[in-house]
Amino acid sequence: MELREFRPSLPSTQTEAVHRARLGAPDGFRVVAARQSEGRGRAAHAWSSPPGNVYLSQVVRAPAQRRSLLPLAVGARLRRSLADRYRVASVLKWPNDLLALVGGRPRKLAGVLVDTVASPTLGEAAVVGVGVNVRAATEEYPPELRGRVVHLDELTSDRPPLDEVEAVTVEAVNSAARAVATADGANEVLADVRSGLHGLGRSAVVDDDLRGIIRTVDDEGALWLDTPTGAVAIRSGDVVVEEST
């Protein structure tokens, strides 16, 4: 079985890769698309997916432990890889986005989505979806997103080839999956996550309701906030960091 399957267009690489994982796709199999018509992000959010970016979903063996760390681990590894390869600085927005600061304001550079499913070959498979904004045309995005995304082309003097960015992304996924599977690797990932965490020490709002100061990410990947009623662990939800003016 070929480990890479490319489609010019798909509703969603994640939906297709989840289906293939359930049918027994091996560790390392990935679905790549030039564009998606129904791309999805975390919590069923839509992911705008015009051509010119990298969209892929890769099947890996689900870690036996610390499974909740995997999205953060992929983000942390991708953050490091983009810095090493393209000298692009970014921050990790809990739990699954990479942001780059443009004019002092954060814009979305990449996102990660992980689904865990039963697999006849792997026992349990983690399907890791990653989208990296590379060079899609601004007019291809919905108007409400045009000022909220940023592309590698805008952040580097090089013009990164899509296949190269794909290879960087795949290695980040593989590296993250390997790291989370060991105690030492997980500790290394957590150090990367904490050092690159967006909003550390600043006020944030979760799901338009809970407000607190971001303090850390714990060993299981939960975000800890200091609130007026005490420390609270956030395990899911939409976190909005209040930007300084």
CATH assignment at residue 117: 3.30.930.10
Verify that 116 and 208 share a domain, yes or no. no
Strand order of the β-sheet with 4-7 is 4-7, 30-33, 54-61, 123-132, 105-119, 97-102, 91-93
What the block records as the tokens of 160 is: 């990164």
Verify that 84 and 106 share a domain, yes or no. yes
Residue 43's pLDDT is what?
A: 47
Verify that 148 and 233 share a domain, yes or no. no
What the block records as the tokens of 4 is: 């890479």
Please give the torsion angle defined by the CA atoms of residues 38, 175, 96 and 87, in that order, rounded to the nearest 10 degrees: -100
Verify that 13 and 63 share a domain, yes or no. yes
Q: What are phi and psi of 183, to 5 degrees?
A: -65, -45
Verify that 36 and 90 share a domain, yes or no. yes
What does pTM read for this prediction?
A: 0.92
Verify that 150 and 214 share a domain, yes or no. no
Domain total in the chain: 2
Q: What is the pLDDT of residues 141-184, one digit of tens each?
A: 888 888 899 999 999 988 899 999 999 999 999 999 999 999 99
Verify that 97 and 43 share a domain, yes or no. yes
Residue 103's pLDDT is what?
A: 84
Domain that holds residue 82: 4-195
Judge whether residue 112 has pLDDT over 50. yes
The upper half-sphere exposure of residue 112, i.e. CA atoms within 13 Å in the direction of its Cβ, equals 30
